[in-house]
Structure 1
Amino acid sequence: MSMDKNTKTVLKLGGVVVLMGSLAYASVPFYDWFCRVTGFGGITQEADAGADEVLDQYITVKFDASKARDMMWDFKPVQHEMRLKIGETGLAFYEAHNPTSRPIAGQASYNVAPYEAGGFFSKIDCFCFTEQVLQPGETVQMPVTFFVDPELVEDRDAKYVKEITLSYTFYEIDLPEDTAALTDTVKAVETNENPSSNEG
């Protein structure tokens, strides 16, 4: 009898462990989805087109740039702030430069501050939607097209926001397969053309 109780207890505990593990695994994509839908944590929204209306009220958008510790690019906003009407479509640029002698791929993460404005900051197009690859010595200007949703002025907390900061952080990622293969080919050709470089 006690064996049956012990077995049941073990099975119940095993079920709890499996359930908790499943919830932990699912929580990451769920949290990401939740943040994107609600703007929680400063996550911005995505839109196919501009706002349906433009209000006669202005808001200031500031632009910030940072890099992960091991990211070798130079990265900065071209403009530091922009004043535009709520609902008006804005176009801003960030500049990236690869000062190294090798191609580097990067992906940008982003958020806005204050957090309560995240659900009302919509990006129509952004360099952060895709990975970026810069060749050695290459400099590019990368656009972001956005607007502040007029519904912001109706929100209990966000309606008091007069200034929004859009921040991007670039991280180095693995090169796309085609770029990596091309880089390896170039290295092989250069090595064959300069065999003396391999001599000790």
Structure 2
Amino acid sequence: MSTASRNRRTVLACSAAVIAMTGLSFAAVPLYNLFCKVTGFAGTPMVGTAATGKTSERIVSVAFDANVAPALGWRFEAEKTEIRAQVGVTQTVFYKITNTSSRPMTGIATYNVQPNQSGAYFVKIQCFCFTETTLQPGETLEAPVVFYIDPEIELNRELASLKSITLSYTYFPSKNGQPVAETKGDGNQSKL
């Protein structure tokens, strides 16, 4: 094999590696999000369509935390700050979101569950998270979260003494379905 032929193969291999790495870098965030949703990693609740039908006698306190980024002129709170949930039984809790600013504002909520290990067993059936919401000045929206704690939690020895879970949401200003780090004043166009 000639030197030119080896050089051409090396250039092609390096080019293919660069293209593959670039593609993977763009796919990393969606793939990580998918991994977290499938496994419950990092406190990411599982997503389900209905409860399993199995229940347990175990009761777990579920606390609801509601936060708003400083740049978003909204008030955000859960109807109840805590409930006692029977494992396997579907629960519904409402959050109230109010635009307290003088302009229409758009926000998007992110969430997590603490402790992290419980995320694999906290199954959301319905949620307002990752859905862009626009509220007019003074407008209020009530949004439900429907969930259950998977009875499979009983098989996890590390969580045998778990007595409470916290579901935490944070609303951020958003643009095109993505959270925005900062805005100029009271609801003006977002800076990216």
The answer (yes or no) to whether the contact 2:64–2:82 under 8 Å persists in 1 is yes
Match of 2:171 in 1: 170
Taking the aligned partners of 2:146 and 2:97, their CA distance within structure 1 comes to 17
Task: Determine helix, strand or coil for the equivalent of 1:15.
Answer: helix
User: What residue ranges of structure 2 are gaps of 5+ in the alignment?
Assistant: 178-192
Partner amino acid, structure 2, of 1:41:
A
Per-residue displacement from partner, 1:92-148 (whole Å, max 9, x unpaired)?
Answer: 122211111221122111110111111111112222263322111122332211110
What is the count of residue pairs matched by the alignment?
A: 176
Taking the aligned partners of 1:78 and 1:65, their CA distance within structure 2 comes to 10
- Does 2:93 correspond to 1:92? yes
Partner amino acid, structure 2, of 1:39:
G
Partner amino acid, structure 2, of 1:152:
I
Q: Percent identity?
A: 41
- Does 2:179 correspond to 1:147? no
Match of 1:39 in 2: 40
Taking the aligned partners of 1:26 and 1:175, their CA distance within structure 2 comes to 19
Partner amino acid, structure 2, of 1:157:
E
Answer with 1 or 2: which has the greater Rg.
1
Match of 2:128 in 1: 127
Structure 1 ranges of 4+ moved more than 4 A = none
The answer (yes or no) to whether the contact 1:51–1:89 under 8 Å persists in 2 is no
User: 1:63-142 to 2 correspondence within 5 Å?
Assistant: 63-128=64-129, 130-142=131-143
The answer (yes or no) to whether the contact 1:133–1:175 under 8 Å persists in 2 is no
The answer (yes or no) to whether the contact 1:93–1:143 under 8 Å persists in 2 is yes
Task: Determine helix, strand or coil for the equivalent of 1:116.
Answer: helix
- Worse overlay, 76-85 or 112-121: 76-85
The answer (yes or no) to whether the contact 1:67–1:75 under 8 Å persists in 2 is yes
Taking the aligned partners of 2:119 and 2:110, their CA distance within structure 1 comes to 14
TM-score using structure 1 length:
0.79
TM-score using structure 2 length:
0.82
TM-align CA RMSD: 2.0
Partner amino acid, structure 1, of 2:70:
R
- Worse overlay, 145-154 or 9-18: 9-18
Task: Determine helix, strand or coil for the equivalent of 1:110.
Answer: strand
Larger helix fraction of residues:
1
Taking the aligned partners of 2:10 and 2:47, their CA distance within structure 1 comes to 48
Pair 56,160 (structure 1): closer, same or farther in 2 beyond 3 Å: same
Partner amino acid, structure 2, of 1:14:
S
- Worse overlay, 116-125 or 12-21: 12-21
The answer (yes or no) to whether the contact 2:106–2:135 under 8 Å persists in 1 is yes
Taking the aligned partners of 1:22 and 1:99, their CA distance within structure 2 comes to 42
